[in-house]
Amino acid sequence: MNIVVCIKRVAATDSTIKLGSDGKSIDPSGVEFVLNPYDEFAVEEAIKTKEATGDGTVTVITLGSADAQKELRTCLAMGADKAVLLNAGDTELDAFNTAAMVGAYVKSIPHDLVFCGKQAVDGDDSQFPSRLATILDLPCVTEVQSLALEGGVYTAARDIEGAREVVSCPTPAVISTNKGLNEPRYANLKGIMAAKKKPLETIDVTTIAPATTVAELTLPPERPEGKILDTVDELIAALKNDAKVL
Amino acid sequence: MTTIAVIAEARSGHLKKPSLEAVTAAKELAEKAGGATVTALIVGSGLGAAKQELAASGADHVVAIDSEALANYSGDGYAKVLVDALKELAPAAILAAHSAMGRDLAPRIAAALDTGLVSDATALHFEGGKYGATKPVFAGKAYKKSMFDSQPFMATIRPNNWEAHTGGSADVKDASTSLSAGDLKAVVKELIAAATDRVPLQEASVVVAGGRGLKGPEHFHLVEELAAAFGPGVAAVGASRAVVDAGWREHREQVGQTGKVVSPTLYIAIGISGAIQHLAGMRTSRYIVAINKDANAPIFKEADWGIVGDAFEVVPALTDAVKSAVG
Ligand SMILES: Cc1cc2nc3c(=O)[nH]c(=O)nc-3n(C[C@H](O)[C@H](O)[C@H](O)COP(=O)(O)OP(=O)(O)OC[C@H]3O[C@@H](n4cnc5c(N)ncnc54)[C@H](O)[C@@H]3O)c2cc1C
Ligand SMILES: Nc1ncnc2c1ncn2[C@@H]1O[C@H](COP(=O)(O)O)[C@@H](O)[C@H]1O
């Protein structure tokens, strides 16, 4: 079984975001970059699937700059077998050209199952998995919180507003993973050592143009200074007169 | 005449409120673009009531695709019929709510139409002949404004950022599809309704959330009672990750980076410290109230109003006061 996992290198969620001098990007100095937290669930599920079936290869793929080799190595240390960096250098990427480029590559390799995270926590797009499935013409279930494979058919559950959807999905398929699906393993020392010997291929790619252009990145407006109230009655008055929710 | 399309959503026969908000956003954008009509599309089965609600949403035209095979959401099925309909309609812009359906469906449509998409938009633009949108990025720590170089423009919009309107009367056209159940790849086998009649977290106008300050799952009734005090259909219960990880509450209630993003009119944080990953999920709420016994808790920096005190004393008193205010 050929299992593909798409991952992304992102700014850690607790990093302080400062604007770059171009006003369109962040200043990366002082920012810690990590494997996208939702992709940890995707890598874990891929390795688990391989372990359960007893055969197969887990290939992790990312489109990005050479720096992303670090996050690919993290996945190899967790237990993935090989990694591919589609090196786009510093080209401007959006969901449109990212999915097109990764999609073209995945099409060229065997892929029985494709795992993604539900969302990359930098752009918070939640676009790539559905786009990839459309490009690959595969069925897809997004934001999956439980997954069982039987006879080549997935039963997947996902939360929607006010309910849980249970979806039946034939494979090959694209699955995007949500928190709750599994407990991602940590890369132990043995894994980290083994990862150094695993293949990490770099392919230079020239991306197509993005569909959108960043015009401006801004910091959120400061919330006005809050007020500490002494009594519940004062709060009720504020909720009535200012917030008008009562 | 240029038209802006809205992909609307019905559940249990009724239109979802974020879809009405999307119609409002479309009308606003139509005005900025110098005049355009708004065409709302809806897919499903048994759409009678939802069609009427949509016809009175302020849209100019409604197109309903009613099909037994599409009674439940199917990513590939809905995308197929909508892409066909949208190709025929040729809108300048397409909007949908950033709901579970919108998040799954809009990128499929964008990929099929070979165009861009701004997801979770909080503002829409038309400048120098180009459409664009602004959305929170880095968990709300920055806002990104993007302009479109591709057509049509597409965006999913964050719930609770535009008002839902009723009034007006659109013409309703029933469209058919030849799609049958056999054409669908992934299919919904079962919908398990949440065991509560409360409003979904992301659609609630009030969210009452509890954290580790409540000390144990047995005290969460305080949070539930405060939510209930706002009256039926108003408030939903949320939780911090700490209490979800501890197994006190279900993940579906988690607010934040790895939970849900909510943007209600009022967010009440009880015994929640206000970690950056929690703020990511509630920072765009219109008003924020914090109840915490630690005056230095970071949540107070985000709050419009705060009470420094013990939740076990403040919350029951607040619940009583809200009850009598609601009447
Ligand atoms: C990758 C990542 C993703 C994350 N995602 C999320 C997420 O989606 N959502 C989320 O919430 N967190 C998330 N977190 C965790 C986050 O960093 C915090 O650990 C978490 O939000 C803390 O929850 P809490 O505020 O309930 O608990 P604590 O931080 O322990 O705060 C408890 C608060 O209760 C107050 N308190 C105690 N007793 C009382 C009392 N009797 N009355 C009133 N107040 C009292 C205390 O003063 C304190 O401020 C994430 C972390 C990481 C690393
Ligand atoms: N540049 C990329 N390379 C590979 N996979 C990606 C890339 N960007 C996003 N993904 C995958 O798509 C998921 C959702 O990302 P997004 O649509 O950007 O929120 C991520 O969790 C990854 O699994």
Q: State pLDDT tens for residues B275-290.
A: 999 999 999 999 999 9
CA of B262 to the centre of ligand 1 (A): 17
The token duo for B254 is 């988690």
Same domain, B42 and B132: yes
Q: How many CB atoms lie within 10 A of CB B176?
A: 10
B193 burial type by CB count under 10 A (0-12 exposed, 13-18 middle, 19+ buried):
exposed
Q: The domain at A2-219 falls in which architecture?
A: 3-Layer(aba) Sandwich (3.40)
Same domain, B132 and B262: no
Q: How far apart are CA A128 and CA B227, in angstroms?
A: 36
Measured from the Cα of A42, ligand 2's closest atom is 23
Please state the domain extents for chain A. 2-219
The pLDDT value given to residue B197: 58
The pLDDT value given to residue B287: 96
Q: How far is CA A37 from CA A13, A119, A124, A182, in A?
A: 9, 9, 12, 12
Backbone angles phi, psi at A162, to 5 degrees: 75, 5
Q: Write out pLDDT tens, residues B38-95.
A: 999 999 999 999 999 999 999 999 999 999 999 999 999 999 999 999 999 999 999 9
Same domain, B218 and B148: no
Q: Residue B222's closest CA among B268, B253, B256?
A: B268
Is 70 exceeded by the pLDDT of residue B163?
yes
CB B154 within 8 A of CB B110: yes
CB A226 within 8 A of CB B274: no
Largest Cα separation within chain B, whole Å, is 62
Query: Chain B contact for A26, CB < 8 A?
Result: yes
Which residue of A94, A176, A212 to mutate against B (max B Cβ within 10 Å)?
Answer: A212
The pLDDT value given to residue B195: 58
Q: Write out pLDDT tens, residues B296-307.
A: 999 999 999 999
What residues does ligand 2 touch, defined as CB less than 6 Å away? Answer: A 6-8, 36, 38-39, 42, 61-64, 95, 98, 102, 116-117, 119-120, 123, 125-129
pTM, entire model: 0.92
The pLDDT value given to residue A54: 87
Q: Which of B104, B199, B305 sits opposite A238 (nearest CB)?
A: B305
Same domain, B216 and B271: yes
Percentage of residues in chain B with pLDDT exceeding 90? 88
Q: How far apart are CA B322 and CA B303, in angstroms?
A: 19
Same domain, B156 and B208: no
Q: How far apart are CA A130 and CA A164, in angstroms?
A: 19
How many structural domains does chain B have?
A: 2
ipTM over 0.85: yes
Averaged pLDDT, B9-30: 95
The answer for B105, left when phi > 0, alpha when psi is -120 to 50, beta otherwise, is: alpha
Domain containing B276 equals 201-326
Question: Hey, what amino acid is at A47?
Answer: I
Largest Cα separation within chain A, whole Å, is 66
Question: Hey, what amino acid is at B91?
Answer: P
Same domain, B154 and B215: no
Backbone angles phi, psi at B170, to 5 degrees: -90, 155
Residues with Cβ within 8 Å of B208's Cβ and at least 6 positions away in sequence, in order, are B223, B226, B227, B235, B236, B237, B238, B268, B270
Counting every residue written for chain A, the total comes to 246
The pLDDT value given to residue B30: 97
The pLDDT value given to residue B12: 83
Is B188 within a domain? no
CATH (domain of B309): 3.40.50.1220
Q: Which residues of chain A have pLDDT under 50?
A: none
CA of B73 to the centre of ligand 1 (A): 35
Chain A residue with CA closest to B308: the answer is A228
CA of A128 to the centre of ligand 2 (A): 5
Of B154, B183, B212, the domain-final residue: B183
Same domain, B171 and B285: no
Same domain, B165 and B275: no
Chain A residue with CA closest to B9: the answer is A161
Is B189 within a domain? no
Q: Which of B111, B144, B206 sits opposite A245 (nearest CB)?
A: B206
Same domain, B176 and B237: no
The pLDDT value given to residue B199: 84
Q: What share of chain B is helix, strand, coil (3-state, %, to 5)?
A: 35, 30, 35
- Specify the 3-state DSSP secondary structure of B293: coil
Same domain, B31 and B135: yes
The pLDDT value given to residue B168: 85
Torsion sign across C-alpha atoms B76, B81, B86, B88: positive
Query: Which residues in B lie closer than 8 A to residue A227 (C-beta atoms)?
Result: 304-306
Is 60 exceeded by the pLDDT of residue B158?
yes
Same domain, B167 and B205: no
Query: Which residues in B lie closer than 8 A to residue A121 (C-beta atoms)?
Result: 138-139, 257
Q: Residue B15's closest CA among B164, B158, B161?
A: B164
Is B129 within a domain? yes
Q: How many CB atoms lie within 10 A of CB B300?
A: 22
Q: How far is CA B156 from CA A11, B8, B141, B142, B290, in A?
A: 24, 11, 20, 18, 30
How close is the nearest chain A Cα to the Cα of B115, in Å? Answer: 6
Is B270 within a domain? yes
Ligand with minimal distance to A131 CA: 2
Chain A residue with CA closest to B326: the answer is A246
How close is the nearest chain A Cα to the Cα of B37, in Å? Answer: 24
Map tokens 């048994």 to a residue.
Answer: B46
Is 80 exceeded by the pLDDT of residue B245?
yes
Q: Which of A111, A125, A128 to mutate to test the pocket of ligand 2 (most atoms within 8 A of CB)?
A: A128
Is B191 within a domain? no
Percentage of residues in chain A with pLDDT exceeding 90? 89
Buried b (16+ CB within 10 A) or exposed e, B135-173: bbbbbbbbbbbbbbebbbbbbbbbbbbbebeeeeebebe
CA of B15 to the centre of ligand 2 (A): 31
Which residue has better confidence, B183 or B194? B183
Of B183, B215, B230, the domain-final residue: B183
Of B183, B215, B244, the domain-final residue: B183
Lowest-confidence region among B41-50, B72-81, B169-178, B196-205: B196-205
CATH (domain of B12): 3.40.50.620
Is 70 exceeded by the pLDDT of residue B196?
no
- Name the residue at shortest CA distance from atom 51 of ligand 1: B277
